[in-house]
Amino acid sequence: MIEVAMVVGLVATVGLVRGWFLGYPAARPEAPSLSAKEQAVVMAAADAMFPRGGALPLSGSEAGALRYVHESLSTSPTRIRLLLRLLFVFVEHGPWVVNFRARLTRQSPEQRVATLRSWAESPVYFLRVVFTSLRTIVSLAYLSDNRVVDGIGATPNTAPFEGHKKAVLA
């Protein structure tokens, strides 16, 4: 009986180590502030939300999501960096806990969309907040690419209030 428990424990430990730490591509040099795991999560989420061949031809990862998240993380206060890293951990491993699915980066593109959609529509407030936070980061990253901005016909205005009269409060 003890041998069976040891074997089960060993298999569970190996599975946990494999699922938590292994199976990620090497870290890309354009985002040194992100671990290989964080990079994989950012690219998987970006491509799930902005797939190649959508309304614009660029995918989320092609539009520079890694670069944007790296720059944002590098310039953020320590507390914000910690919260963003925790968000990426949950986005990666949350599917195990919440949906009984493989971690996000091991899912097919269709499964990733289904996982994120289920979080967006979840009756659980925490999951909706996780989805909204991730969507905000990925959307800002996508919109930071000039090709995307040109593709949607937007004209950036970095000083929207210059040249306007000051509002008078009654």
Could you report the per-residue pLDDT of 58-107, keeping only the tens digit for each? 999 999 999 999 999 999 999 999 999 999 999 999 999 998 899 999 99
Q: Give domain status of residue 98, yes or no.
A: yes
Q: Which two tokens stand for residue 29?
A: 């040099």
Q: Give domain status of residue 1, yes or no.
A: no
Q: Give domain status of residue 110, yes or no.
A: yes
Smallest CA-to-CA distance from 45 within 25, 64, 65 is with: 65
* Total count of residues recorded for the chain: 170
Each residue's pLDDT tens digit in the chain (170 positions)? 777 665 555 544 445 445 545 579 887 888 899 999 999 999 999 999 999 988 899 999 999 999 999 999 999 999 999 999 999 999 999 999 998 899 999 999 999 999 999 999 999 999 999 999 999 999 999 999 999 999 988 877 778 787 766 655 55
HSE-CB for 38 with a 13 A CA cutoff: 20
Give one DSSP letter per residue of 106-137, joined into a string. GS-HHHHHHHHHHHHT-S-HHHHHHHHHHHHH
pTM: predicted TM-score of the whole model, two decimal places: 0.79
- C-alpha distances out from residue 159 to 136, 144, 162, Å: 22, 16, 6
For the chain, the domain total comes to: 1
Residue ranges making up the domain that contains 147: 29-151
Q: Give domain status of residue 22, yes or no.
A: no
As a whole number of angstroms, the distance between CA 151 and CA 72 comes to: 23
